[in-house]
């Protein structure tokens, strides 16, 4: 690592420790020429994930947009925000683990709905109504019937 003071191309590491929950490493270094100390951080390079919208446009994946939609769907429902945040993190982790650079918005919506269904039925129907663009009451009823058929019988 090049010294930030004198530009000498070599230094020694005095101390290393994980930071940011282990997502990066902080290294304390000493220049082998001038003896000054400096700190460097080593992080994994993150590639941006693109979302392919229904109209073909592409935008950078934003987990906050998903969380905002979930919060709206769970309005006045007994669902803790921490559960929604974890749901979004699970979706993001799965998407980044797939190693795809571009993901259709419909796939993301389906992943979110699948997880939300296990959290709260009412929030699921609310989210589905916006995501699938329900046009009338009949569509709501059909979705509720599908839910009831898929639900385990007691």
Write the DSSP assignment of 50-72 as a string of letters.
Answer: EEE-TTS-EEE--HHHHHHHHHH
36 lies in the same domain as 66: no
State whether 83 and 101 are in the same domain. Answer: yes
Q: Please give the model's pTM, rounded to 2 decimal places.
A: 0.63
d(CA 11, CA 34): 10
Residue that wins the pLDDT comparison between 26 and 23: 26
Per the structure, how many domains does the chain have?
Answer: 2
Same domain, 34 and 100: no
Categorize the per-residue pLDDT at 31 as very low, low, confident or very high, splitting at 50, 70 and 90.
Answer: very high
Confidence category of residue 152, pLDDT binned at 50, 70, 90 = low
What is the C-alpha separation between 40 and 27, in angstroms, rounded? 5
In a domain, residue 128? The reply is yes
pLDDT given at position 21: 78
Residue at 122 is within a domain = yes
Same domain, 28 and 86: no
Confidence of residue 153 (pLDDT cuts 50, 70, 90): low
Question: Looking at residues 89-116, what average pLDDT do you find?
Answer: 92
Q: Residue 4 falls within a domain, yes or no? A: no
Average pLDDT over the chain, rounded to whole? Answer: 89
Residues 75 and 123 reside in one and the same domain: yes
Question: Quick one: 146 and 70 in the same domain?
Answer: yes
More confident residue, 39 or 142: 39
Q: Could you list the residue range(s) of the whole structural domain that residue 36 is in?
A: 11-43
Max distance between CA atoms of the chain, in angstroms, equals: 76
Residue 154 has pLDDT above 60, yes or no: no
């Amino acid at each position: 690592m090049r010294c930030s003071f004198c530009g000498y191309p070599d230094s020694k590491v005095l101390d290393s420790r994980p930071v940011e929950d282990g997502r990066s490493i902080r290294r304390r270094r000493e220049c082998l020429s001038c003896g000054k100390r400096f700190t460097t951080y080593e992080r994994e390079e993150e590639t941006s994930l693109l979302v392919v919208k229904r109209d073909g446009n592409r935008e950078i994946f934003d987990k906050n947009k998903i969380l905002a939609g979930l919060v709206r769907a769970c309005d006045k429902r007994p669902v803790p925000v921490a559960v929604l945040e974890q749901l979004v993190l699970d979706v993001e982790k799965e998407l980044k683990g797939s190693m795809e650079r571009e993901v259709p918005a419909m796939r993301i919506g389906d992943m979110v709905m699948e997880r939300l269904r296990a959290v709260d039925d009412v929030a699921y129907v609310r989210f589905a109504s916006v995501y699938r663009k329900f046009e009338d009451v009949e569509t709501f009823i059909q979705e509720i019937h599908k839910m009831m058929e898929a639900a385990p019988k007691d």
